[in-house]
């Protein structure tokens, strides 16, 4: 059994990894360069589904389905133990005027998911605030959204209550401690920290850290901007998505509109161009928002990866070093399954799903000098 585990990165993936390991190891330390959960975990929308699930590989689908089915239980468990409700809010989701609607419906039959076409008049009856001119819709009734900042707070509180977990915020990892081919810990600004196993869950920054070992992990920051409105609690009963933009209702009437997809390095500056584009999408989806002023506008950095397939497992040639990163647009969606699968692998248990597609082996390259 691993005694000391160090987790580098305190987003939802890192926090939930720690939560799943804590009962089975002697001590878990989570390190984050800022406060925990302040990067993409905080910035995302929290839809508990890929935006267009039928466009992803079976590897992403397998994680998504396990997580979607588990989220209500996770939310209830965290609420019961911490008193902080992550607000797993089942609203359903309408996809409007899809170009690949038939592909979506074929996928739903194949995967046995409750996605079906809906007559447009029924959609306008169900969502009276929806903008005019939409012609076709498909609907999945059981899709939830999780209030991701609350999820982070709840996970943090749950970990702080555990005697064998240490959360070290504002502690930047600069590199790894090596002993031949084995990783023995991490180097931080505050000194070295030894561990039996080191887990990299650093989101968009994971590639930079692996480069210190001359390994090329194809994970890069992809900027996304969102805006937020405050409406009446019953303003929007369901999530709606059209032309790549979505509206997500929270229980208290907040409405999130997202999101952009930008390759801008590590720049997280919100831009006026994105603000105007998002406001236009908001008004097209929900015309009543033309008279409202956004109460929030922010940007986050997704950990972009090829095909959005995360890296979950041990790094070949580096005993003691593990990855759970590269979830791209679906970190919140895939977190429960990714972190359960990760714990299964580290603890040498039977895995919940086939781990082969996520294995770092064969998916990393050496950095060319």
Q: What is the pLDDT of residues 252-294, one digit of tens each?
A: 999 999 999 999 999 999 999 999 999 999 999 999 999 999 9
Q: In the predicted model, what is the mean pLDDT of the chain?
A: 96
Would you say residue 2 has pLDDT above 80? Answer: no
Would you say residue 1 has pLDDT above 70? Answer: no
Predicted confidence band at 365 (pLDDT cuts at 50, 70, 90)? confident
Cα–Cα distance measured from residue 94 to residue 141, given in angstroms and rounded to the nearest whole number: 9
Q: Where are the beta strands (DSSP E) in 121-244?
A: 137-140, 144-146, 165-168, 173-179, 182-188, 191-194, 197-200, 215-216, 220-230, 239-242
Domains of the chain: 4-45+150-218+306-366 (3.50.50.60), 93-141+220-304 (3.30.9.10)
Residue 368, pLDDT score: 57
- Are the beta carbons of 255 and 276 closer than 8 angstroms? no
The closest alpha carbon to 87, from 180, 151, 178, 167, belongs to 151
Exposure string of 39-63, with b = 16+ CB inside 10 Å and e = fewer, is bbbbbbbbbbbbbebbebeebbbbb
User: Residues 312, 314, 325, 360: is their CA dihedral positive or negative?
Assistant: negative
Please give the backbone phi and psi of residue 249, each rounded to the nearest 5 degrees, phi first.
-90, 135
Predicted confidence band at 316 (pLDDT cuts at 50, 70, 90)? very high
71-128: per-residue pLDDT in tens? 999 999 999 999 999 999 999 999 999 999 999 999 999 999 999 999 999 999 999 9
| Tokens coding 263 | 């390759």
Q: Average pLDDT for residues 319-323, to the nearest whole number?
A: 97
Indicate the SS3 state at residue 254.
strand
Would you say residue 224 has pLDDT above 60? Answer: yes
Residue 366, pLDDT score: 76
Would you say residue 167 has pLDDT above 70? Answer: yes
Would you say residue 369 has pLDDT above 60? Answer: no
The closest alpha carbon to 49, from 97, 133, 107, belongs to 107
Q: Average pLDDT for residues 316-330, to the nearest whole number?
A: 97
């Amino acid at each position: 059994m691993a005694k000391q585990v160090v987790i580098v990165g305190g987003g939802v993936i890192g926090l939930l990894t720690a939560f799943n390991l804590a009962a089975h190891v002697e001590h878990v330390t989570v390190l984050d360069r800022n406060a925990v959960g302040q990067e993409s975990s905080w910035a995302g929308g929290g839809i508990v589904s890929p935006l267009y699930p039928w466009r992803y590989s079976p590897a992403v689908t397998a994680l998504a389905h396990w997580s979607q089915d588990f989220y209500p239980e996770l939310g209830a468990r965290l609420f019961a133990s911490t008193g902080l409700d992550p607000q797993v809010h089942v609203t359903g989701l309408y996809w409007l005027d899809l170009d690949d609607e038939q592909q979506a419906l074929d996928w739903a039959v194949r995967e046995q998911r409750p996605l079906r076409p809906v007559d447009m008049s029924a959609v306008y009856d169900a969502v009276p605030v929806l903008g005019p001119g939409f012609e076709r819709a498909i609907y999945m009734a059981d899709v939830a959204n999780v209030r991701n900042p609350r999820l982070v707070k709840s996970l943090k509180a749950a970990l702080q209550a555990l005697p064998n977990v240490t959360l070290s915020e504002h502690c930047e990892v600069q590199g790894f401690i090596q002993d031949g081919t084995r990783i023995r810990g991490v180097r931080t600004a505050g000194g070295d920290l030894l561990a039996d196993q080191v887990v990299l869950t650093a989101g968009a920054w994971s590639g930079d850290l692996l480069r210190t070992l001359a390994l090329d992990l194809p994970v890069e920051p992809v900027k996304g901007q969102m805006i937020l409105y405050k409406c009446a609690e019953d303003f929007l009963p369901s999530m709606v998505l059209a032309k790549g933009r979505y509206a997500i209702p929270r229980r208290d009437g907040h409405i999130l509109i997202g999101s952009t997809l930008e390759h801008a390095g590590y720049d997280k500056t919100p831009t006026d161009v994105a603000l105007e584009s998002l406001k236009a999408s908001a008004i097209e989806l929900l015309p009543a928002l033309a008279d409202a002023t956004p109460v929030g506008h922010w940007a986050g950095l997704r950990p972009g990866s090829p095909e959005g397939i995360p890296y979950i497992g041990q790094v070949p040639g580096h005993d003691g070093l593990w990855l759970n990163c590269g979830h791209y647009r679906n970190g919140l969606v895939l977190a429960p399954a990714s972190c359960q699968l990760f714990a299964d692998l580290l603890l040498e248990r039977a895995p919940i799903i086939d781990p082969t597609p996520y294995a770092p082996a064969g998916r990393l390259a050496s950095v060319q000098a």
